[in-house]
């Protein structure tokens, strides 16, 4: 049986049609470059940070180099740290503000504080509930870590972590101190140049607008002292004793039972220049109170 081959109808290709149409319209289609559409980039919403509360300044989120390879062994190694944004008190807590606290919280008054929470030198320069005459705006001193924690909670704030404190002390620039490594008695209260503390805010502010981050009085931090913490410190929001600030409640909720050494920073009116460097670290038992140790507070930024 013979089969006939079917007759297929052949259609021109689409590209052939385009070429013909282009020729008829006077266009050389082969020379035309294909049109590439630009990708649509979605705008990232800008998160507005609320203005700082009265008496505080904003320390923006970001990374900085923490520590010093030229300092003591507990300041090493230099390592990258990122902190979330936070607010910090412009000045150290004054005698006047601490008096308001003890009047509102009698259990923290000089004659009422539980024995387990002090070493006998708490508010040593006060006469019961009265600070030294003429020193309302001097930083409160002879205040231990427990009392600093209590004040911060009462004020709706907290103590700064070591990382937050050091970042703030550097003033937003990569330097060891607010005076750009040229220190004299016009820039800070140190080395017993005056012989006592001075009113808060007397010396020039650093790049963030913070006063007395170097000298005047030492300042308590939240962290437990760990000389080797920098070797294992997490990059984001480190907090010795509980690793990161995510675990902050483990300290705050039961702070009166803590017995480990706590960090204080910044040097004081009695200190040598090296103690005033942003990277310098010191530590003390939480119940101890000294005549040149005070504090300032920070507050988390909430959107």
Cβ atoms 71, 279 nearer than 8 A: yes
Cβ atoms 129, 86 nearer than 8 A: no
Q: Residue 69 and residue 72: Cα distance in Å, rounded?
A: 8
**Local confidence band at 6 (pLDDT 50, 70, 90 cut-offs):** very low
- Spell out where the chain has E strands: 56-59, 62-66, 79-83, 86-89, 218-224, 238-239, 243-244, 262-265, 282-284, 293-294, 298-300
For 85-95, write each residue's pLDDT tens digit: 999 999 999 99
Per-domain residue ranges of the chain: 69-300
What is residue 43's predicted lDDT score, i.e. its pLDDT?
A: 58
Cβ atoms 237, 82 nearer than 8 A: yes
Asked if the model's pLDDT at residue 33 lies above 60, the reply is: no
Percent of all residues in the chain with a pLDDT value above 90, rounded to a whole number: 78
Residue 159 burial (CB count, 10 A): 27
CATH node for 69-300? 3.90.1580.10
């Amino acid at each position: 049986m013979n089969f006939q081959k079917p007759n297929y109808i052949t259609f021109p290709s689409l590209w052939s049609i385009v070429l013909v149409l282009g020729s008829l319209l006077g266009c050389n289609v082969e020379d035309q470059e294909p049109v590439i559409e630009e990708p649509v980039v979605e705008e990232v919403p800008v998160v507005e940070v609320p203005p700082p509360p009265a008496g505080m300044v904003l320390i923006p989120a970001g990374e900085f180099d923490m520590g010093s390879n030229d300092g003591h062994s507990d300041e090493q190694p230099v390592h990258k740290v990122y902190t979330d944004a936070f607010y910090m008190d412009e000045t150290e807590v004054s005698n006047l503000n601490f008096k308001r606290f003890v009047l509102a919280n009698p259990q923290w008054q000089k004659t009422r504080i539980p024995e387990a929470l002090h070493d006998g030198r708490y508010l040593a320069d006060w006469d019961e509930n009265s600070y030294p005459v003429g020193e309302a705006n001097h930083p409160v001193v002879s205040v231990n870590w427990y009392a600093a924690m209590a004040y911060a909670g009462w004020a709706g704030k907290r103590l700064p972590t070591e990382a937050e404190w050091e970042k703030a002390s550097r003033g937003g620039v990569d330097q060891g101190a607010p005076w750009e490594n040229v220190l004299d008695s016009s820039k800070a209260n140190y080395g017993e140049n005056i012989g006592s503390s001075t009113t808060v805010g007397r010396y020039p502010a650093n790049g963030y607008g913070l006063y007395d981050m170097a000298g005047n009085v030492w300042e308590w931090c939240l962290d437990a002292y760990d000389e080797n913490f920098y070797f294992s410190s997490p990059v984001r929001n480190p907090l010795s004793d509980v690793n990161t600030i995510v675990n902050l409640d483990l300290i705050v909720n039961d702070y009166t039972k803590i017995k480990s050494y706590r960090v204080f920073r910044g040097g004081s009116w009695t200190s040598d220049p090296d103690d005033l460097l942003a990277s310098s670290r010191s530590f003390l038992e939480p119940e101890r109170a000294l005549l040149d140790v005070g504090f300032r507070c920070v507050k988390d930024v909430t959107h």
